[in-house]
C-alpha cells in the first residue's frame, strides 16, 4: 500500500486543495479522497485501496453498494421518487408495516436525518407531556446525559455539554436537564412532575463508545415507568444490528417508549430516519402539527424496507455479535503499551489510548497509510465500526495493521 502524501501533486492533493478553498471548514477529514467502493473496501482517486472500518459512523452497516439495495434504489428512482405527503404513495404503507413489525412498535413517523428524528422525538415527548400527562403549558422538561451526542440543530446543541458544539450558536432552547451518564440515582433525583422524557443513547457513540454499567438501561426504564416519563432511546448509531442485537436496548431487554433510528436505515444510500412509538404517544399528532417534504418519500421507503429485510434475512445482528466478540478479544490482547482499554459491543468498538499515546487522530492517520479507514471519537479513543457484512478475513487483515501500528512508534 503506497503512502498517501497530500503534498505530492496527486489527484488527492488537488481535491483537498480545492475543498479547502471552496467549502466551509466545519470538518477536518483525513487526507483521503474516495471515489468508488464495494462492500467493506473503498478506492481513492489515485487508485489506492482501503478497508472501511468506520462505515460512515454506522450508516454503512450493509457495506458500500449492496447489490440488492442498489437495485431497489435504481428501480424505485426510475418509477417514483417523491410525492410529498400531500398525497399517498405506494411504498409508504409497506414501509410502515415493515418497520413497525421489525421494531415491535405501533406507529412510525419518518424523517430524513438523525437530527430531525431527534427533534421529532423531542416534539413528541413535549406534546405527549402537555396533552396526555397533563404538564402545565411551557413547563415540560426532558432529561439528557452528560457526554451525549444527538445531532447538531440549535435545540439539540442546547443540551450538549461539549463547549465547541455550543460556542457561538446561542441563544439556546430551554427545557433540558443534564445528568451523569450511567448514574441511576442522579437520574431519579432529576425527575420532577414536569419531566416528560428521558433521551439517552444506549451506548454513547460520539462520546467515546461508552457502555453504561450493567442494569443501567433497565433501571432507567423502570424509573421512567414509575414516574410516567417517556424512555426515548436514540439508536441512530447503535441500532439495526451494530451492537450484535437488533437494538442496543435489547441487551437489557428494555423496550423504549420512543425509538429513534437513522443512519443505517437508509441502506448507506440516502438519508432516512424514523421515530417509532405506541398508539398513545404517537397519537398526539394531528395533521399539520409536524412534517417534512422528503420524510416518507417512496425512494426512502423502498430502500429502508429492503435494508430491514436484508438485516433480518442475513442475520446481520448475529454476525456483528460473533465477529465483534472475536475481534474485541484480539484487540484486548493489545492492552498495555499505548492501549488503555478496549470496549464496546458487537462491531461498535472503541480503543481507548493511554495519555502517552497522544491524540487518537494521529494513530488513525497512521492506519490510513496502512490502508485502513477509521476515526477518532473523543480525543483519546479510536472508533472501529466496520460494515456488518465485512468478511472475517478482512477483520484479520485489519487486526494485523492495528496491532503493528499500535505496537510501533508513536506518530
- Does residue 64 sit in helix, strand or coil? strand
Spatial contact of 264 and 287, defined as CB atoms under 8 Å apart: no
The whole-angstrom separation of Cα 344 and Cα 208 is 10
Site residues for ligand PLP, 202-261, by CB under 6 A, read 205-206, 234, 236-237
For strands 176-179 and 141-145, give the pairing: parallel
Q: For residues 69 and 248, which CB has a smaller minimum distance to ligand PLP in the complex?
A: 248
Interface with ligand PLP, residue 342, by CB under 6 A:
no
Site string for ligand PLP, 32-71 (x = CB under 6 A): -------------------------x--------------
Please indicate whether residue 177 is annotated as part of the active site. Answer: no
Here the cell at position 277 is: 412509538
Total binding residues for ligand PLP by CB under 6 A? 16
What are the distances in angstroms from CA 334 to CA 132, 210, 356?
A: 52, 19, 15
Q: For residues 295 and 371, which CB has a smaller minimum distance to ligand PLP in the complex?
A: 295
Q: Smallest distance from the beta carbon of 88 to ligand PLP, in angstroms? A: 26
For strands 141-145 and 195-200, give the pairing: parallel
Identify the H or E element spanning 400: helix 392-407
Closest C-alpha among 39, 261, 245 to residue 150: 261
Q: For residues 115 and 381, which CB has a smaller minimum distance to ligand PLP in the complex?
A: 115
The whole-angstrom separation of Cα 393 and Cα 3 is 23
Q: Which residue is nearest to ligand PLP (CB)?
A: 114
Q: Which residues pair with 107 in a beta bridge?
A: 277
Please indicate whether residue 263 is annotated as part of the active site. Answer: yes
What's the number of CA atoms in the CB half-sphere (13 Å) around residue 377? 24
Q: Smallest distance from the beta carbon of 247 to ligand PLP, in angstroms? A: 12
Which of 262, 267, 298, 317 binds ligand PLP (CB under 6 A)? It is 262
Q: For residues 307 and 406, which CB has a smaller minimum distance to ligand PLP in the complex?
A: 307
Interface with ligand PLP, residue 115, by CB under 6 A:
yes
Q: Out of 73, 102, 149, 198, which one is annotated catalytic?
A: 149
Spatial contact of 51 and 373, defined as CB atoms under 8 Å apart: yes
Please indicate whether residue 149 is annotated as part of the active site. Answer: yes
Binding site for ligand PLP (CB under 6 A): 57, 113-115, 118, 149-151, 201, 205-206, 234, 236-237, 262-263
Catalytic residues: 149, 234, 263
Amino acid at each position: 500500500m503506497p503512502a498517501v502524501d497530500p503534498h505530492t501533486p496527486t489527484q488527492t492533493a488537488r481535491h483537498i486543495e480545492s475543498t479547502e478553498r471552496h467549502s466551509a471548514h466545519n470538518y477536518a477529514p483525513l487526507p483521503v479522497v474516495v471515489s468508488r467502493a464495494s462492500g467493506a473496501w473503498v478506492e481513492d482517486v489515485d487508485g489506492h485501496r482501503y478497508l472501511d472500518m468506520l462505515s460512515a459512523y454506522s450508516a454503512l452497516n450493509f457495506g458500500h453498494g449492496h447489490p440488492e439495495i442498489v437495485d431497489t434504489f435504481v428501480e424505485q428512482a426510475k418509477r417514483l421518487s417523491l410525492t410529498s405527503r400531500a398525497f399517498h404513495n405506494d411504498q409508504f404503507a409497506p414501509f410502515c408495516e415493515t418497520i413497525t413489525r421489525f421494531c415491535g412498535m405501533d406507529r412510525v413517523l419518518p424523517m430524513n436525518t438523525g437530527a430531525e428524528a431527534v427533534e421529532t422525538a423531542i416534539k413528541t415527548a413535549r406534546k405527549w407531556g402537555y396533552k396526555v400527562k397533563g404538564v402545565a403549558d411551557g413547563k415540560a422538561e426532558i432529561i439528557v446525559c452528560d457526554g451525549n451526542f444527538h445531532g447538531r440543530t440549535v435545540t439539540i446543541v442546547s443540551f450538549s455539554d461539549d463547549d465547541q458544539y455550543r460556542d457561538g450558536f446561542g441563544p439556546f432552547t430551554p427545557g433540558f436537564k443534564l445528568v451523569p451518564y450511567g448514574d441511576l440515582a442522579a437520574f431519579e433525583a432529576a425527575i420532577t412532575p414536569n419531566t416528560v422524557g428521558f433521551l439517552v443513547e444506549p451506548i454513547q457513540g460520539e462520546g467515546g463508545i461508552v457502555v453504561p454499567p450493567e442494569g443501567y438501561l433497565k433501571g432507567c426504564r423502570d424509573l421512567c415507568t414509575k414516574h410516567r416519563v417517556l424512555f426515548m432511546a436514540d439508536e441512530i448509531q447503535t441500532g439495526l444490528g451494530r451492537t450484535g442485537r437488533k437494538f442496543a436496548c435489547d441487551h437489557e431487554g428494555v423496550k423504549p417508549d420512543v425509538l429513534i433510528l437513522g443512519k443505517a436505515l437508509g441502506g448507506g444510500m440516502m438519508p432516512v430516519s424514523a421515530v417509532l412509538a405506541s398508539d398513545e404517544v404517537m397519537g398526539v399528532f394531528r395533521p399539520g402539527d409536524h412534517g417534512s417534504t422528503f420524510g416518507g418519500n417512496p425512494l426512502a421507503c423502498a430502500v429502508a424496507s429492503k435494508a430491514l429485510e436484508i438485516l433480518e434475512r442475513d442475520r446481520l445482528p448475529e454476525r456483528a455479535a460473533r465477529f465483534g466478540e472475536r475481534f474485541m478479544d484480539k484487540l484486548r490482547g493489545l492492552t498495555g503499551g499505548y492501549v488503555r482499554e478496549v470496549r464496546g459491543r458487537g462491531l461498535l468498538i472503541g480503543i481507548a489510548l493511554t495519555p502517552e499515546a497522544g491524540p487518537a487522530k494521529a494513530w488513525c492517520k497512521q492506519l490510513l497509510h496502512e490502508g485502513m479507514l477509521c476515526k477518532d471519537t473523543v480525543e483519546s479513543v479510536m472508533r472501529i465500526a466496520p460494515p456488518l457484512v465485512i468478511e472475517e478475513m478482512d477483520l484479520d487483515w485489519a487486526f494485523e495493521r492495528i496491532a503493528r501500528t499500535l505496537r510501533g512508534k508513536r506518530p
